[in-house]
Chains A and B, each alone.
Chain A
């Protein structure tokens, strides 16, 4: 059934003052669908150095999925059963690949000065993501529930106590480390990663330095050098 009520018509044309309408208008003006899910990228993106960001994301997904399995079944399984040891190793090695890809991504973005063109927040969310990932990996080493984790925790506690944070970040407290590793820190990394990707979508992939020199430094060169 169609309606001709004027108030509904106002809502549909986007001029409603409801908070949902305002959020929608703000979202669509900030990140329209063609920017959120683009099907074309600038020509300079056709380089292997631009692949490492999405490789990091792929490794992150494997970490999340394998970690989910480990958390449901527990250490008695992943230390003894062959499948459990495989998933445990998958979790470990995907973390290694995650950091390898992320650091190469970082090197690439650093040398192309990826904070140019109002992308400082994109760069800083990457920095926060890197630091949060370090904390997540560190707590992960502490919750292996083996002699390696005991060694790491008792080596680390002296340093952390020396800087005065041992009282509320106790690396010898397995329960605290497990909750930080499986709940808080992955949530922080996940949220910051999504924010980082949305910022990349909004501002576009940073162009090479020489490409910017030929164009407006603020304006994306997406339109001018798009792959056709």
Chain B
């Protein structure tokens, strides 16, 4: 899924890569395209012929909420070890349970 094209300088793309953002270009000969880490922001270059610092047009892909294909992070306290995704699911379930008890249920129209 691509967002509308946004102007991004070559410097910005290099800086994103240095910050750990995965930068991928449509053309293979883009010097600053590469995968600096497992970050997920993808920048697809359109015109790579301009000089450094010139403003160019890129298509920036949306950043996924989570990398579900990667390895999960784990949290541990002594003997207890739990993955972050499992912890998130449990917390969401507890939140849903509490909301289901607290939130008022909409009344039937006939009984209003």
Contact = CB atoms under 8 A, between A and B. Distances in A.
Contacts of A100: 89, 92-93, 96
A227 B100 contact: no
A195 interface: no
B96 A104 contact: yes
B79 interface: no
Q: Which of A49, A100, A227 has the most CB of B within 10 A?
A: A49
A208 B92 CA distance: 25
A103 interface: yes
A48 B99 contact: yes
Given A100-B89, A103-B93, A51 B107 contact: no
B81 interface: no
A18 interface: no
Given A227-B111, A228-B111, A47 B100 contact: yes
B30 to A, nearest CB: 28
B73 to A, nearest CB: 18
B6 interface: no
Nearest to B100: A48
A187 to B, nearest CB: 28
B107 A49 contact: no
Interface SS of chain A: helix, strand, loop or mixed?
A: helix
Contacts of B93: 100, 103-104
Contacts of B107: 46
B85 to A, nearest CB: 11
Nearest to B102: A48
By size class, the interface of chain B is 10 to 19
A108 interface: yes
A48 B101 contact: yes
A52 interface: yes
A107 interface: yes
A104 B101 CA distance: 11
Contact of B105 (A48, A103, A107): A48
A107 B111 CA distance: 29
Contact of A108 (B97, B103, B111): B97
Contact of B108 (A51, A96, A227): A227
A108 B99 CA distance: 12
13 contacts: A46-B108, A47-B100, A47-B101, A47-B105, A48-B99, A48-B100, A48-B105, A49-B100, A100-B92, A104-B93, A107-B97, A108-B100, A227-B111
Interface of A: 46-49, 51-52, 96, 100, 103-104, 107-108, 227-228
Given A48-B103, A100-B89, A100-B96, 18 more contacts: A46-B105, A46-B107, A46-B108, A47-B101, A47-B105, A48-B100, A49-B101, A51-B100, A52-B100, A100-B92, A100-B93, A103-B93, A104-B96, A107-B97, A108-B97, A108-B100, A227-B111, A228-B111
| Closest 5 pairs between A and B when the two form their complex, measured CB to CB | A48-B100, A49-B100, A46-B105, A104-B97, A47-B105
